[in-house]
């Protein structure tokens, strides 16, 4: 049947939300197999997906959800219980549904029929004749289920066969004969009639009229327009600084306030909680741990922390690699944990926290940790590191080598690890988001991955600086402090200029000497300003010619030539109308190499 593209797109979006609900609640059900509320949530999710799939004529989805719905109908009626082996099958059902909706997201498609999975569900549904006889009596329904049953009668779902879905239309009810009321004596007490209670709405649910679904392309268009407004606001503020006019100053002040409020409101429409991506991992952790014979608890902290939608989506793959790595490599086998005096169940924690204009996502486990000596030996053995270089590297620096392409400490190849693919993909993915990734580990205690990414990739708070007659923008979130270069507090060690900083020392570079297509002598340091940048627990001083000041900028993509050079995350237009390159400090410093 012909399917309207907009209807299909809306169905896919709603179905993906339901799949997240299914994934989360199936894991809950495996831990508490008698939770009636969770059972009903799962049942209704399959029921809803089935109805939409039937309307669109997608028989593979209808049959899959219908079998699943039948099984959960048996579970909620008390005729069977949910088991871990059932969860194994429903994990495959979820994978099949996810793959199907990924295909439908690109437009109408003919989906493959999951015959083997249907057979597996039929086997679960099969019960003994005695159980069937015992279940012939209708179970007593709760109030919520009896509203639900009434709704199913009024709005019939598509039939599970090859016939096209029937179109539901509303028609005026046929006239009913009037019911004569019994005679009532005047003054007699009238019988009281209690009307049925309206169906209860889910907790915290918003009325449908308050929710409008808008395509991300429309939001992106508004964001771009707001970005242009911000750029022009900055330019007008620059022009007004040379003009003394009270009326102009007041108008620009109001424009500044309105532009900031509008920008904030628009950006919030793109923000989504990291819970959207965190919810994918309970089932992933459960499946991997079960296949390896391990026990792992997954803990979420700060899952309501918000990020730009595009960044939330982009986080999925890097986090997937790190979660798999932690369960496979980090968490020990049960007997090893018990032998080390630990509990038999390992703990994997996903934590999100807002820090200024950035969000930190921490993935930590209480596993065996990483041995820096093993990393050193592996790199030397593969020719990735010389013995001399390895001897001069700290344990923290050695840890970062796990992000090198092709690196792996696994002694054998399995379905999950040992092919040298994984953490280098994480580093590439995070850097594509203008973020950084840092690893810390203690042998026998556990491993911590720290991701730091911007809250949005559209607007950025920056410090504008000048170096070698060029204007650059440095993200404000990485700047630690600014001071005047002092020769008395510096030394040269092995050709590297070092400056005293807090309780230790840090390397100092002339910024232009670090940037592509630039070359400047370090003898021009006297009375220059030093901008201290801290990335991934590493501080470095950039010597610059001048500090212009703070400015909120709109990130613009780079052209092909400049994009091929290391060190720049984008460009912007300053208040003076000049083009300024936005520095990617993590890549300039190569902190992960």
Q: What's the pLDDT score for residue 511?
A: 82
Confidence band, pLDDT 50/70/90 cuts, at residue 577: confident
Per-residue CA distances from 363 to 85, 278, 330 (Å): 29, 11, 11
Backbone phi, psi, residue 16, to 5°: -65, -35
Per-residue CA distances from 500 to 495, 508, 530 (Å): 16, 10, 12
pLDDT average, residue stretch 35-54: 92
Q: What's the pLDDT score for residue 195?
A: 40
Q: What's the pLDDT score for residue 302?
A: 94
Domain boundaries, the chain: 5-154, 214-272, 274-454, 459-589
CB atoms within 10 A of CB 82: 23
Asked if pLDDT for residue 204 goes beyond 50, the answer is no
Higher-scoring residue by pLDDT: 591, 211: 211
CA distance 61 to 91: 15
- CATH number (1.20.120.160, 1.10.10.10, 3.90.1150.10, 3.40.50.1950) of 5-154 reads 1.20.120.160
498, exposed or middle or buried, with CB in 10 Å at 0-12, 13-18, 19+? middle
Tell me which CATH code domain 459-589 carries: 2.30.30.40
Q: What's the pLDDT score for residue 3?
A: 63
CATH architecture of residue range(s) 214-272: Orthogonal Bundle (1.10)
In the chain, % of residues over pLDDT 70? 79
Asked if pLDDT for residue 558 goes beyond 90, the answer is no
What integer best gives the mean pLDDT of the chain?
Answer: 78
CA distance 144 to 149: 9
Q: What's the pLDDT score for residue 187?
A: 41
For 177-186, 435-444, 478-487, which range has the lowest pLDDT when averaged over its residues? 177-186
CA distance 326 to 516: 37
For 18-22, 143-147, 341-345, which range has the lowest pLDDT when averaged over its residues? 143-147
For 65-69, 98-102, 164-168, 364-368, which range has the lowest pLDDT when averaged over its residues? 164-168
For strand 459-467 and strand 446-454, is the pairing parallel, antiparallel, or unpaired? unpaired
Q: What's the pLDDT score for residue 257?
A: 87
Asked if pLDDT for residue 44 goes beyond 90, the answer is yes
DSSP letter, residue 3: -
Asked if pLDDT for residue 335 goes beyond 90, the answer is yes
For 394-408, 479-493, 504-518, which range has the lowest pLDDT when averaged over its residues? 504-518
CA distance 441 to 365: 10
Looking up tokens 């965190």 gives: 278
Helical H runs in 105-215?
A: 115-125, 129-134, 143-154
Helix, strand, coil percent content, the chain, rounded in steps of 5: 45, 20, 35
pLDDT average, residue stretch 420-446: 82
Q: How many CA atoms lie within 13 A of 583 on its CB side?
A: 30
CA distance 28 to 41: 11
For 3-12, 107-116, 185-194, which range has the lowest pLDDT when averaged over its residues? 185-194
Per-residue CA distances from 510 to 228, 245, 285, 497, 529 (Å): 33, 40, 46, 10, 10
For 10-19, 43-52, 246-255, 486-495, which range has the lowest pLDDT when averaged over its residues? 486-495
Backbone phi, psi, residue 50, to 5°: -60, -45
Q: What's the pLDDT score for residue 48?
A: 92
Is the separation of the CB atoms in 344 and 297 below 8 Å? no
Taking the alpha carbons at both ends of the chain, their separation in whole angstroms is: 55
pLDDT average, residue stretch 71-87: 89
Tell me, yes or no, if the two domains 214-272 and 459-589 fold the same way.
no
Higher-scoring residue by pLDDT: 319, 425: 319
Asked if pLDDT for residue 216 goes beyond 70, the answer is yes
Q: How far is C-alpha 192 from the chain's CA centre?
A: 55
pLDDT average, residue stretch 314-318: 89
Helices (H) and strands (E) in the chain, counts: 20, 18
For 72-76, 280-284, 485-489, which range has the lowest pLDDT when averaged over its residues? 485-489
pLDDT average, residue stretch 335-344: 94
The model carries a pTM of 0.69
Its CATH class, for the domain covering 274-454, is alpha beta
Is the separation of the CB atoms in 284 and 24 below 8 Å? no
Asked if pLDDT for residue 366 goes beyond 90, the answer is yes
Kindly tell me the sign of the dihedral angle through the C-alpha atoms of 198, 199, 205, 208: negative
CA distance 496 to 498: 6
Q: What's the pLDDT score for residue 169?
A: 36
Asked if pLDDT for residue 592 goes beyond 70, the answer is no
């Amino acid at each position: 049947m012909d399917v309207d593209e907009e209807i299909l797109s809306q169905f896919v979006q709603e179905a993906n939300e339901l799949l997240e609900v299914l994934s989360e609640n199936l894991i809950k059900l495996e831990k508490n197999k008698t939770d009636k509320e969770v059972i009903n949530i799962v049942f209704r999710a399959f029921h809803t997906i089935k109805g939409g799939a039937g309307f669109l004529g997608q028989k593979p989805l209808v049959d899959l959800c219908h079998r699943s719905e039948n099984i959960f109908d048996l579970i909620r009626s008390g005729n069977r219980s949910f088991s871990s082996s059932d969860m194994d099958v429903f994990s495959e059902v979820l994978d099949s549904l996810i793959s199907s909706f990924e295909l439908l997201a690109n437009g109408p498609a003919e989906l493959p029929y999951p015959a083997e999975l249907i057979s597996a569900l039929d086997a679960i549904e099969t019960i003994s004749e005695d159980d069937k006889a015992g279940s012939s009596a209708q179970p007593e329904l709760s109030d919520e289920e009896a509203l639900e049953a009434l709704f199913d009668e009024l709005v019939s779902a598509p039939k599970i066969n090859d016939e096209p879905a029937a179109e539901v239309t509303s028609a005026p009810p046929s006239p009913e004969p009037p019911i004569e009321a019994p005679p009532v004596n005047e003054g007699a007490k009238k019988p009281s009639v209690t009307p049925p209670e309206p169906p209860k709405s889910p907790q915290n649910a918003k009325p449908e009229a308050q929710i409008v679904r808008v395509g991300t392309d429309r939001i992106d268009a508004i964001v771009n327009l707001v970005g242009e407004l911000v750029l022009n606001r900055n330019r007008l503020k620059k022009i007004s600084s040379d003009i003394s006019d009270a009326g102009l100053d007041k108008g620009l002040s109001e424009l500044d306030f309105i532009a900031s409020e509008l920008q904030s409101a628009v950006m919030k429409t793109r923000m989504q909680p990291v819970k959207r991506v965190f919810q994918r991992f309970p089932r992933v952790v459960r499946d991997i741990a079960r296949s390896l014979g391990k026990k792992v608890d997954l803990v979420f902290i700060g899952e309501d922390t918000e990020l730009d939608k595009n960044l939330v989506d982009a986080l999925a793959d890097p986090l997937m690699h790190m979660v798999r790595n932690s369960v496979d490599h980090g968490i020990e086998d049960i007997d090893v944990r018990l032998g080390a005096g630990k509990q038999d169940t390992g703990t994997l924690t996903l934590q999100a926290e807002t820090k200024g204009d950035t969000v930190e996502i921490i993935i930590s486990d209480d596993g065996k940790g990483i041995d820096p000596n093993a990393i050193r030996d592996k790199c030397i053995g593969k020719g990735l590191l010389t013995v001399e270089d390895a001897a001069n590297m700290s344990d923290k620096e050695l840890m970062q080598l796990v992000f090198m392409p092709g690196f792996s400490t696994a002694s054998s190849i399995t379905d999950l690890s040992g092919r040298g693919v994984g953490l280098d993909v994480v580093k590439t993915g995070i850097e594509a988001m203008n973020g950084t990734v840092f690893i810390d580990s203690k042998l026998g205690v556990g491993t911590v991955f720290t991701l730091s990414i911007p809250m949005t990739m559209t607007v950025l708070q920056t410090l504008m600086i000048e170096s070698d007659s060029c204007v650059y923008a440095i993200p404000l979130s990485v700047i630690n402090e600014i001071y005047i270069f002092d020769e008395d507090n510096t030394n040269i060690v092995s050709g590297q200029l070092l400056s005293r900083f807090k309780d230790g020392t840090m390397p100092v570079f002339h910024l232009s000497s670090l940037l592509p297509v630039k070359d400047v002598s370090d003898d021009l340091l006297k009375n220059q300003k030093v901008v201290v940048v801290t990335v991934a627990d590493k501080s470095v001083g950039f010597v610059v010619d001048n500090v212009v000041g703070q400015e909120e900028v709109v990130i613009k993509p780079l052209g092909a030539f400049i994009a091929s050079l290391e060190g720049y995350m984008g460009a912007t237009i300053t208040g003076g109308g000049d083009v300024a390159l936005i520095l990617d400090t993590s890549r300039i410093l190569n902190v992960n190499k």
